[in-house]
A and B are shown apart, each in its own frame.
Chain A
C-alpha cells in the first residue's frame, strides 16, 4: 500500500526537521513551513518518510493511505 505525505498546517510550527530528514520530498518556504511532494511513497523512501514523521516535534507530519481521497 503506497502512502502520501500530508502536513497538518494548524499543528506545524516550522521546526523544519522534516525537510532535514527528507530533502528529496520536502522543501521549506521562505517562512520555514514545509512544501510536500505529492508523489506517493513506497519501499525505502517510505521508511525515510516514516523517520521524518516520527521526528516532527508537533506531530504535524502524517502519512496517509494513498487511496483515501478526501472530499470537501
Chain B
C-alpha cells in the first residue's frame, strides 16, 4: 500500500489554520463560451460559500512513497531508447503566495510527444506515436520546494474546438500542495508561442499578467552544454489567509 502515515510527519512545519479564499481574478471562469466543452460542464447555480474547516485546511501528504521508480522525473529514460525531440529540463519551485517553499509535495506532469500526439486511446489525430515516450512524470519537491523534470518539448496539436484550432505546446501540471484548499491543476506554456492569440483555454485566464504566470522562462543557466535546453517554471499555490471565521459564517 502506498503511504506510510507515520513518516509524513517529518515534513510537518508551519500549519496554517486558514487559507486565502480562491482568487477569482486569477482563475478562469467555469463558463467560457469560446471553449465549447464548457457549455454543458459548468454549474449554472452560484457556488455556495464553504467555510474552511479542518477538512479543507488538511490534505494528503503524499511523500516519496508515491514515486514508482528512479526514472519518474526523467521522461527520456522510461523506455529502451530515447524519445525523439528537443531534450529539455524543466525546473522550478512550488511556493505559496507568501513565497514560502512547499516541501515534500507531489508534482505530476503529463504531455504530448514532440509531434504533438498523446499516448492515449482517444487521441487519434494523424501524428506519430513515439514508442520511447509515455509522457507522464512525477516528482516530490525538495527542502527548497524545487522540482525538476527531464523530458522532450511537446509539439502543438490540432483540436476540434473551432476551425483550424491548435493548442499551444504545453505540459500539464498537477499540484497537491499540503491542504485540500491548495489543490491546483494547470498547464505550463512556452515563451512566444504563436498560437497564444487563438487559444481559448490559455485566454480563459482574462488577466494578461495572470496568463504570463503560466509561461515558463527560458534559462541559459538551466541549459546544459551539449545536453539539454532549460526552462524555469515556478508555481504559486494560495497561502495562509487571515479571514476571521465568524465574519463569514
Do A and B associate with each other? no
Q: Which residues of A contact B (CB under 8 A)?
A: none
